């Protein structure tokens, strides 16, 4: 994917006194959030996250934003400002720092603490600057003001970016829980004050724009968890995101109330909860936590495990439990709580885990059967509150798939914003704010950058297509040895097939047809290796298609002696 918008040319140089906005990820998708702002030749980056692969991207670990558009301008980057600590907002920071290691990074205390643990694994030490709501920072020509927002991870921030070209409010991910666990409300009053001063462009979370009404409070989950833990016969295993400190807090409170000890399972869960405990975001009653090695010595009805793997990730602790490939073996009478939502694309993986757990006798409690999850994103009613409070001159919906962006645009029109003032963009689309009007002015290169093990960017769409063919259709290799001078086959054809048919003699007819194709080609004077291989590929491909209705990867090898 080198240029997803062939109908749009590269943008002209930014006009003097104008502000440019380009998302390098996070629009038209859930994940990979990264937005670049440009003013007077300088750049400001808000968020730098990853996207997790889907089933049709085999072997891929992570998907990064495409830094191509700014790679030759990294010296112009004033800073990276992070809205919160979720992987889809901070996970790609180490990869950006590989390009320039001294970019200043700004974020809240918990956000930077979780990022610092990640940077340590990459042996990176950029300048980190802790900021908090209510603060204002001058970053080159950008003045940044920070606002508290409520989300499914503590310490989330919205960012107002002020330049002579205008004021932009980037909400980050948010909701408006009126009784949050930490008492930290989304600063709707601050948004309204900023709106009275004048907001030229609002970039707002669109994830739940299709969902009517208002989000339920995180506190509603607490009584449900208490009932589940109190009524469970044996062990309780709660799976949630390793960054959802408030959800884990409620599990700890419920475990304490039911007389259970708690152990954390999964490297990221252990790391993040230790950091949250040290910083005071997680309150742990004395004697509640135990080490995993001590769990076996406790009565089963006194154990609660808090685990990663709520999205069915293949190597996560919960998936390995479901496959009986973990030190914790699921037994009849255990209770498993999936305390998270399903990220689009993960449904099949999660259902496989649920079925695996159920197979061993576990009772599985999830969002569809009990109130064990509430969203971290504002639904339509709350998005309208923000639109009415801020009264922006222009809206650019972000953080959502196309259906979410369109739904958010419809809400903006309901609030009185003219349709021509709503800019629906996607990754790579360049939007300029000139004289108070936001408009699309072009597009930049903005493809997927795949991380496969230690390789970054080496895997292309062609490589992925080959992997999909290998996984879905199998492969066939045909080797023929020919004497070019005599025009005779002196060896083979030998056929090795994988994923097509294991029956003895299954390819005898194919072998005969391949030999005839080579002999006919040699008789016609075709002696070059590429021409012979093409004949073999065509004949073998047709035979396999007619015989098995399959289209495997076919690799003909012609050797000359």
Instruction: Specify whether 381 is located in the same domain as 253.
Output: no
The pLDDT assigned to 109 comes to 97
HEC readout, 142-198: EEEEEEECECCCCCCEEEEEEECCEEEEECCCCECCCCCCCCCCCCHHHHHHHHHHC
Answer yes or no: is 8 within a domain: no
> Of 175, 188, 157, whose CA–CA distance to 218 is shortest?
175
Same domain, yes or no, for 196 and 125? Answer: yes
Q: Are 213 and 380 within 8 A, CB to CB?
A: yes
**For residue range 224-272, what is the model confidence (pLDDT) as tens digits?**
999 999 999 999 999 998 999 999 999 999 999 999 999 999 889 999 9
Q: How many alpha carbons lie under 13 Å from residue 24 in its C-beta half-sphere?
A: 25
200 shares its domain with 53:
yes
Residue pLDDT, tens place only, 261-314? 999 998 899 999 999 999 999 999 999 999 998 998 999 999 999 998 777 666
Give the residues across from 438 on adjacent strands.
433
**HEC assignment per residue over 298-325:** CCHHHEEEEECCCCCCCCCHHHHHHCCC
Residues 87 and 32 in one domain: yes
Specify whether 293 is located in the same domain as 424: no
Chain-centroid distance, C-alpha 308: 16
**Residue 14 covered by a domain:** no
Last residue of a domain, one of 365, 390, 410: 365
Say if residue 180 is in the same domain as residue 254: no
In a domain, 350, yes or no: yes
Q: Are residues 531 and 489 in the same domain?
A: yes
Residue pointed to by tokens 């047809």: 513
* C-alpha dist (Å) from residue 199 to 162, 202, 433: 9, 7, 12
488-498/201-205 β-pairing: unpaired
10: in domain: no
Which pLDDT score is estimated for 249? 96
Q: What is the CATH number of the domain that holds 229?
A: 3.40.50.10710
Residues 88, 350: Cα–Cα separation, whole Å = 19
Residue 116 sits in the same domain as residue 152: yes
Residues of the chain with pLDDT under 50: 1-4
Asked if residue 1 is part of any domain, the answer here is no
**524 occurs within a structural domain:** yes
Cβ atoms of residues 455 and 60 within 8 Å? no
**What total of structural domains would you count in the chain?**
3
Question: Within this chain, do residues 209 and 129 fall inside the same structural domain, yes or no?
Answer: yes
Q: Report the CATH number that the domain containing residue 143 is assigned in CATH.
A: 3.60.15.10
Of 312, 341, 365, the residue that ends a domain is 365
159 and 28 in a single domain? The answer is yes
* Structural domain includes residue 55: yes
Question: 307 and 165, same structural domain?
Answer: no
Other residues' Cβ atoms within 10 Å of the Cβ of residue 67: 23
Residues 508 and 385 in one domain: no
- The structure's pTM equals 0.84
Task: Give a yes or no: residue 370 inside a domain.
Answer: no
CATH of the domain at 510: 3.10.20.580
Provide, rounded to the nearest whole percent, the portion of the chain with pLDDT above 70. Answer: 93
Residue-number span of the structural domain to which 39 is assigned: 19-213+375-456
**Is residue 341 within 8 Å of 367, Cβ to Cβ?**
yes
Q: List phi, psi (to 5°) of 106.
A: -115, 140
* Residue where one domain finishes, among candidates 430, 456, 482: 456
């Amino acid at each position: 994917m080198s240029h997803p918008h062939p109908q749009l040319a590269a943008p002209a140089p930014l006009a003097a006194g104008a502000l440019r906005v380009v998302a390098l990820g996070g629009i038209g998708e859930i994940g990979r959030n990264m937005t670049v702002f440009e003013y007077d030749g300088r750049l400001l980056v808000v968020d730098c996250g990853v996207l997790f692969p889907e089933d049709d991207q085999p072997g891929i670990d992570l998907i990064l934003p495409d830094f191509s558009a700014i790679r030759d301008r990294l010296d112009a980057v004033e800073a990276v400002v992070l809205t919160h600590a979720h992987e889809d907002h901070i996970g790609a920071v180490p990869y950006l720092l590989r390009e320039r290691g001294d970019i200043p990074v700004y974020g809240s205390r918990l956000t930077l603490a979780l990022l610092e643990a990640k940077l340590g694994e990459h042996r990176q030490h950029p300048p980190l600057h802790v900021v908090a709501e209510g603060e204002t920072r001058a970053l080159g020509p950008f003045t940044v003001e920070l606002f508290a927002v409520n989300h499914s991870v503590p310490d989330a921030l919205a960012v107002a970016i002020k330049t002579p070209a205008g004021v932009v409010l980037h909400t980050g991910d948010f909701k408006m829980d009126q009784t949050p666990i930490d008492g930290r409300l989304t600063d709707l009053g601050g948004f309204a004050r900023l709106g009275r001063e004048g907001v030229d462009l609002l970039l707002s979370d669109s994830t739940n724009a299709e969902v009517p009404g208002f989000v339920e409070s995180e506190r509603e989950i607490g009584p449900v968890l208490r009932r589940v833990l109190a009524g469970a016969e044996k062990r309780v295993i709660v799976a949630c995101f390793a960054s959802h400190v408030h959800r884990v807090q409620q599990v700890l409170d419920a475990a304490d109330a039911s007389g259970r000890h708690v152990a954390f399972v999964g490297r990221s869960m252990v790391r993040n909860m230790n950091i949250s405990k040290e910083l005071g975001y997680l309150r742990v009653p004395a004697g509640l936590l135990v080490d995993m090695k001590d769990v076996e010595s406790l009565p089963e009805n006194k154990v609660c495990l808090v685990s990663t793997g709520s999205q069915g990730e293949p190597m996560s602790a919960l998936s390995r439990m479901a496959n009986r490939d973990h030190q914790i073996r699921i037994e009849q009478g255990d209770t498993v709580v999936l305390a998270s939502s399903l990220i689009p694309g993960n449904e099949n993986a999660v259902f496989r885990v649920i079925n695996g757990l159920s197979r061993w006798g576990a009772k599985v409690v999830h969002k569809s059967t009990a109130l064990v999850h509430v969203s971290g994103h504002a639904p339509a009613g709350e998005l309208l509150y923000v639109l009415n409070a801020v009264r922006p001159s222009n809206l650019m919906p972000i953080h959502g798939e196309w259906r979410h962006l369109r739904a958010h645009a419809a809400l903006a029109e309901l609030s009185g914003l003219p349709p021509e003032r709503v800019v629906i963009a996607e990754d790579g689309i360049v939007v300029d704010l000139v004289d108070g009007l936001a408009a699309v002015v072009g597009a930049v290169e903005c493809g997927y950058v795949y991380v496969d093990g230690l390789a970054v960017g080496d895997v292309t769409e062609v490589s992925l297509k080959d992997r999909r063919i290998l996984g879905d259709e199998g492969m066939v290799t045909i080797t023929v040895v020919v004497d070019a001078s005599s025009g005779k086959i002196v060896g083979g054809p030998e056929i090795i097939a994988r994923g097509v048919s294991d029956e003895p003699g299954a390819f005898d007819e194919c072998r005969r047809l391949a030999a005839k194709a080579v002999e006919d080609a040699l008789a016609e004077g075709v002696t070059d290796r590429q021409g012979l291989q093409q004949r073999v590929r065509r004949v073998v491909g047709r035979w396999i298609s007619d015989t098995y209705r399959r289209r495997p990867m076919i690799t003909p090898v012609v050797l000359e002696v």
